[in-house]
């Protein structure tokens, strides 16, 4: 199935049915009075997060979603039938934005989360609502209100705790295969990864985290070189970035330090907040080096713009276990700090209320 992570759609809620102006007419009953019913409500359009869906491909080709109108009211106090709502199932992690106003309508971060995209119109009132002691035979009724119409931008941002960043062929796919059950394509040529891959890294029976592998960046990605920046949005929700660097490049004259700096420059051009996320350096392919200590020391001497650094060999697993344990510990510390901050905020709010 083709991976689609953005799309534009139009949603049209249904119009409410018109109210009826009717009078009771039966044999032997004179002046039966008004009996016009109300119109039914128009159908609304909702979005529903579904963990069983992982792409927006359904909305790339079906762009218009229109709910039905409510039925008009009838005589004999018959109300019009309300139209059924439309529910659009979307992947967890979808951000829905109104294109015209720029307002974020919904951010579907949990399975089963439901959001209203377009409200259906209300049904009109029948003439039975307008009768009174001075107006025994009202002939007025109201029309149903129109439903909302919106043009929406859908953007999928995968939910992961850790994101992998690096040049093509840095070993990101090999690393995620080594530490999780994910099986992305691995080959000896650039851009073997063409769409994001997710893997669950299980540190113990009770502890695990999700890691995201996105296609590699190259210098000039901001201008569209390679695959450009189109997949960097999937790192926006991560708590930690792992910058994988090929410490033993296959081509002579390739400078790992220059490549690492180029990646950070592209990251900074794309999003300053993403650039400021916690970022660890992971030097990969140690199995191809004989003078490991010297190469690592040389790299760190020229480039040290990272919170922590690790040296691994993803293909045989050397150093991967220690790295996953460190990641798990870091994520737990971040979760504890966030919980403490939330508790302090709640206590301050309670104190202000008192």
Confirm whether 353 is domain-assigned: no
**pLDDT score for 194:** 54
Length of the chain equals 354
Q: Are residues 36 and 185 in the same domain?
A: no
How much is the pTM? 0.70
Q: Are residues 45 and 110 in the same domain?
A: yes
Q: Are residues 297 and 331 in the same domain?
A: yes
SS3 240: strand
**pLDDT score for 184:** 55
DSSP classification of residue 270 = H
CATH number at residue 37: 2.70.210.12
DSSP classification of residue 79 = P
Least confident of 113-117, 234-238, 333-337: 234-238
Q: Are residues 12 and 86 in the same domain?
A: yes
Would residue 88 be called left, alpha or beta, if left means φ above 0 and alpha means ψ between -120 and 50 degrees?
beta
Q: Residue 224: pLDDT band by 50, 70, 90 thresholds?
A: low
CATH number at residue 321: 3.40.50.300
Q: Are residues 244 and 115 in the same domain?
A: no
**pLDDT score for 86:** 94
Kind and range of the H or E run holding 165: strand 162-166
Q: Are residues 19 and 116 in the same domain?
A: yes
Closest to 75 (Cα-Cα) out of 111, 36, 49: 36
Q: Residue 223: pLDDT band by 50, 70, 90 thresholds?
A: low
Query: Checking DSSP bridges between strand 197-202 and strand 208-213, what pairing results, if any?
Result: antiparallel
**pLDDT score for 230:** 62
Q: Are residues 93 and 62 in the same domain?
A: yes
Q: Are residues 186 and 319 in the same domain?
A: yes
Confirm whether 243 is domain-assigned: yes
Residue numbers of the domain that contains 293 = 162-341
Confirm whether 67 is domain-assigned: yes
Number of structural domains found in the chain: 2
Cβ-based neighbour number of residue 139 at 10 Å? 12
DSSP classification of residue 128 = G
Confirm whether 349 is domain-assigned: no
* 83 vs 52, higher pLDDT: 83
List, in order, residues 6 or more apart from 304 with CB less than 8 Å away: none
């Amino acid at each position: 199935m083709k991976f689609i992570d953005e799309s534009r759609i139009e949603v049209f809620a249904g119009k409410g049915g018109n109210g009826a102006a009717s009078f009771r007419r039966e044999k032997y009953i004179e002046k039966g009075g008004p009996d016009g019913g109300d119109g039914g409500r128009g159908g609304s359009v909702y979005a529903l997060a579904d963990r069983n869906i992982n792409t927006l491909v359904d909305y790339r080709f079906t762009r218009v979603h229109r709910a039905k109108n409510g039925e008009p009211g009838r005589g004999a106090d018959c109300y019009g039938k309300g139209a059924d709502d439309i529910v659009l199932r979307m992947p967890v992690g979808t951000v829905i934005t109104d294109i015209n106003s720029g307002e974020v309508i919904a951010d579907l971060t949990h399975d089963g989360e439901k959001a209203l995209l377009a409200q259906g119109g209300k049904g009109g009132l029948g003439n039975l609502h307008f009768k009174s002691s001075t107006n025994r035979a009202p002939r007025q009724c109201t029309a149903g209100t129109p439903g909302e119409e919106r043009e929406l931008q859908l953007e999928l941002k995968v939910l992961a705790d850790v994101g992998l960043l690096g040049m093509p062929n840095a070993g990101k796919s090999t690393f995620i295969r080594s530490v999780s059950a994910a099986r992305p394509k691995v080959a000896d040529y650039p851009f073997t990864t063409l769409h994001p891959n997710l893997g669950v890294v299980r540190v113990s029976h009770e502890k695990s985290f999700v890691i995201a592998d996105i296609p590699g960046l190259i210098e000039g990605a901001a201008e569209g070189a390679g695959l450009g920046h189109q997949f960097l949005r999937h790192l926006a929700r991560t708590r930690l970035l792992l910058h994988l660097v090929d410490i033993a490049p296959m081509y002579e004259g390739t400078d790992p330090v220059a490549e690492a700096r180029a990646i950070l420059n592209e990251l900074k051009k794309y999003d300053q907040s993403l650039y400021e996320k916690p970022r660890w350096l992971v030097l990969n392919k140690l199995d191809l080096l004989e003078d490991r200590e010297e190469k690592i020391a040389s790299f760190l001497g020229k480039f040290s713009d990272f919170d922590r650094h690790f040296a691994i060999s993803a293909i045989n697993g050397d150093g991967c276990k220690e790295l996953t344990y460190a990641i798990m510990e870091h994520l737990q510390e971040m979760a504890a700090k966030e919980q403490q901050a939330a508790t302090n905020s709640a206590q301050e709010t309670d104190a202000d209320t008192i």
